[in-house]
Structure 1
C-alpha cells in the first residue's frame, strides 16, 4: 500500500519592508518577525536600491516610505511580480487609476493600499458611514501629532469618501450650512461633500471624530490610536491576505467582512 502524496505546504510570504528605519517601519519589522507564517526578507532604508528586494528573494513588499517615493516603489514591486501592502499616504484617485492600469498587465499580483491599518479605525469609519444616512448633518475632525506631513489625513479622506458615498446612495442632501463668508478657510476642507477639519498638536498620536447631528441629538464616532502598535495587526492581516486578492484593494475594510 502506497502513501497518497500530499501537496507541498505553501511557502510563507517573504516580506521586504521599505522605510524600515522610520518609526512605523521599525515597528513593522518587529511585527513581521514576530508574526507566525511571515518571514522578514529585507529591511530597506531610503538610500538602499530597490533591486535589494529581488536579491533578497522577497515575495511581498511593505511600503512605509513617503508619498513621493511610494508610486515608484509599488511600480517596481508589480513589475517584478511582488505583492505589495502600502501604508504610505498620497494615493489619490489619479495614482490609483494609473496603478490599476499597471496591475491589469500583471493579473496575478495583489496590492493593498491602506489609509489606516488600525482595525478599530477602519471599523469606526465603516460605522460612521452606516450611520451618516440617518443624520441631517455630518462633519469630521482629525487630530494628529505635529510631525504629520499631510492634511487632511488619508484616514480622514477615506472616511469622508465612504460617508459621502453612503449619503449620496441614500439620497441625503448636503449638511445645512448658512456660511456665506469664509476667507480664511475656517470651515475646513470639503471632501466628497463632507467638511473635514485637521488639528496638529503636540502630545497627540492619531485620533478622529465623526460628528453626526439631527434634531435634538448628536452621535459621535471616535477612534483613538495611542501607539503605532495599534496598526500592526492590520499590517500582518494585509500581508497574509494580499496574495489571495489580485488587483488593487483600497482600504483595509476590503479585507474585512463588513457587509
Structure 2
C-alpha cells in the first residue's frame, strides 16, 4: 500500500511516517512539508537519506501515485488536503484537528461520490478511543454533561480535535440539557465555555499538558467523570493511525472516530 504523509516533519507526523517506513506491508512514497520541500525526508530528519521525497504541496505528493494520504498538519490546511485527495480518488486518514461537523458532512458526501474512504479521529490513541466509546454509552442515559479540554500553552486551535469530535458525537446520541440557558447567564456568559453541538466545552491551555480530554456527566447528588490523558510523546497515536491506513481501502465515505473501527 503506497502511503503519503502530510506533516511528516511534525511531532505526530514524523512518528507515523517512521512507522510506515518500518512496516512490511506499507510503502512510504512521499511526504509533504512546505519548509522542507525538495529534500529527502531522511536528510530532513538528520538520519540519512531514505529515498522519500518531500513535496511542498499535497497535490504534488499525490502525483507520485498514492493509495492513502495521512494528514497530520494544521487546522488551517487540513480541509484543502482532504478535498484534494478525495478529488484524486485517494483514501485519507485524518489526524489533524480543526474540521467542523459541517465540513465532515461535505467530506462524507464528496468521498461517497468519489467512491473512496476517509477515516478521521480527533485522537488515534487506543485508550482515547475507549474513553470516547465509554462516553457515548453514558450519554444515552445521562442528560447533562460538559467537556473540559486540556492542551499545551502553545496549541494553536481550540477546542482540540478530540474534544470537538467528542462533543459532536455525544450530541448525535443525546442532546444535553441545560438547567439555565447560556444566554440567561449573568456576569460574563463566555465564562460558561463554547457551545459545540450543544455541549459546553472549556479549553485550558497550560504548560505540562499534551492533550487531555474530560467529560463530566451529572445527575442530582452524583457525577461521572471520564477522562483521557496523553503523555509527552506521539507514540500513542501511531498504532491507531496505522490501523486506519490499513482499513481505509475497505471504506466508502466517512468514518469518524477510531472507536468506530475498533468496536464496529
Say which of 91, 95, 98 aligns to 1:87: 95
Alpha carbons of 1:19 and 1:103: their partners in 2 closer, same or farther (altered >3 Å)? Answer: same
> Are residues 1:29 and 2:17 paired?
yes
| Equivalent-residue separation in structure 1 for 2:80 and 2:215 (angstroms) | 34
Gaps of 5+ in 1: 1-12
**What is the distance in 1 between the residues matched to 2:143 and 2:60?**
53
**Aligned partner (choices 124, 127, 140) of residue 131 of structure 2:** 124
Partner of 2:45: none
Instruction: Tell me the equivalent position of 2:179.
Output: 176
Residues 81-134 of structure 1: per-residue CA shift (max 9 Å, x gap): 211111122221332233233324312x11112221112112212211211343
Q: Please, which of 126, 133, 149 is the counterpart of residue 156 of structure 2?
A: 149
Return the match for 1:134 from 133, 141, 165. Answer: 141
| Misfit runs of 4+, over 4 Å | none
For residues 170-249 of structure 1, what are the structure 2 equivalents within 5 Å?
Answer: 174-177=177-180, 180-183=185-188, 185-226=190-231, 227-249=233-255
Structure 1 residue aligned with 2:5: 17
How far apart, in 1, do the equivalents of 2:139 and 2:97 lie? 25
Q: TM-score, normalised by structure 1?
A: 0.85
Deviations 1:149-173 (A, max 9, x none): 11111211211122223224xxxx6
Using the TM superposition, give the Cα deviation of residue 241 of structure 1 relative to its aligned residue in structure 2, in angstroms. 0.4
Q: Which has the larger radius of gyration?
A: 1
Q: CA deviation at 1:72?
A: 2.2
Distance in 2 between the 1:49 and 1:163 partners? 35
Aligned residue number for residue 166 of structure 2: 159
